[in-house]
Amino acid sequence: MLALQKIRAEIGVALAQASDPGAPAPHELLIKVAAAGICGTDLHLDHWAEGFRFIAPLLPVTLGHEFTGEVIAIGAEVSGFALGDRVVVQPALSCGVCIYCAAGRHHDCLNRIGLGMQVSGGFASHVFAPAKHCLHVPPEIDAELGALIEPLTTSAHAVALGEIGPGARVVVFGPGPIGQGAAIFARRAGAAEVAVIGHGDTARFATLRRLGFDTLIDLAEPDGAARLTRLAGAGFDVALEASGAPPVINTGLSCLRPYGTFVLAGMPEREASLDVMLIVRGRHRMIGCSRAPDSAWRTVIDALVQDPAAFRPMITHRLPLAEAVAGFQLAHSREASKVLLFP
Ligand SMILES: [Zn+2]
Ligand SMILES: [Zn+2]
């Protein structure tokens, strides 16, 4: 079968012929992929960013961890799934035995393995996944919205970590899919104001307008920084960082109110410099956000069932898997929001 793979420990990804799937292992499902999204993590792997080179001994590997599909074969020891069930996979595969797994916190597993990073993922027609990491997708959520579930869990988790509630003033840095999702979940949580900050992001701002957000500031524009300062006024309650652009961290800290909360969900490819005095004097709280727990998955699935139309504009490009390399170029460019591949 055709698969988009990281083949060598250097820059680039490529289409390759992977072996056709056999039967699933006793604890696994075999899933026919319906739609799969390109994630920032995939772009880091394409770039061969420093923080992802630990997978070198495992190459080649089929990428893709944001996907939905249909169960077409079921391992002998699996219960709770039937042929034809539509599922989404939690791609952080857990060991089941470490202290966190034993405590029911599988998302914090010490020995996690990334499906689509360390074992073959969903940029192919078929993928195996442990049944314990598969969730049913309700009929209200179609295949392409289903492919948004995994990235949206990061957005929903960021909003939960920021304890955003009714009346909150929220600023989101990074207008890509994670930031778009964070803005939507902040609005759903009752935020009074959600501003989104970009840097040379005209196309993604157009997507945000379609999503219903119009407080948008582009820091690449000459008056961008001054506009942000004016907008911040006495300070935002919560800043959500979803750009992975290192300079944004100090900018975000400087527009929080005293005791404001800064949630970091973006993944910088380089070390970021941090003006610690902004935190000390501002009495701020900084929280790292990754590995969304099951509660975030429930939040996202419920939100997509209730209001699918609120999320669909996030998908800006749809391509066949055979054009995956072009899809990666699109995702790298700031023209696209979420790029989906269809095997
Ligand atoms: Zn992802
Ligand atoms: Zn574990």
- The answer to whether the bond into 60 is cis (omega within 30° of 0) is yes
Q: What residues form DSSP beta bridges with 86? A: 70
Ligand 1 center–CA 64 separation, angstroms: 8
Q: Where are the domains of the chain?
A: 2-148+311-342, 154-288
Q: Tell me, what's the pLDDT at 136?
A: 98
Ligand 1 center–CA 162 separation, angstroms: 20
In CATH terms, the fold of domain 2-148+311-342 is: Quinone Oxidoreductase; Chain A, domain 1 (3.90.180)
Amino acid at 101: C
Residues 52-103: tens digit of each pLDDT: 999 999 999 999 999 999 999 999 999 999 999 999 999 999 999 999 999 9
Find the ligand nearest to 101 CA. 2
Find the ligand nearest to 177 CA. 1
User: 331 Cβ partners below 8 Å, 6+ apart?
Assistant: 38, 42, 43, 339
Ligand 1 center–CA 271 separation, angstroms: 21
Burial class (CB in 10 A: 0-12, 13-18, 19+), 281: exposed
- Report residue 70: phi and psi, to 5°: -120, 140
Q: Tell me, what's the pLDDT at 97?
A: 97
Give the residue numbers marked as catalytic: 41, 44
Q: Tell me, what's the pLDDT at 192?
A: 98
2-148+311-342 with 154-288: one CATH topology?
no
Ligand 1 being an ion, which residues bring their Cβ within 5 A of it?
39, 41
Contact 186, 172 (CB under 8 A): yes
Q: What is the residue-wise DSSP string for 51-99?
A: GGGGGGGG-SEE---EEEEEEEEE-TT--S--TT-EEEE--EE--S-SH
Find the ligand nearest to 181 CA. 1
Contact 134, 81 (CB under 8 A): yes
Write out the two tokens for 260.
Answer: 């404001």
Q: How far is CA 298 from CA 80, 136, 141, 157, 172, in A?
A: 18, 11, 13, 11, 23
Q: Which CATH code is given to the segment(s) 154-288?
A: 3.40.50.720
* Single pTM value for the model: 0.96
Q: pLDDT under 70 in the chain at which residues?
A: none
Q: Tell me, what's the pLDDT at 270?
A: 82
Q: Tell me, what's the pLDDT at 102?
A: 97
Ligand 1 center–CA 155 separation, angstroms: 11
Ligand 2 center–CA 98 separation, angstroms: 4
Q: Tell me, what's the pLDDT at 99?
A: 98
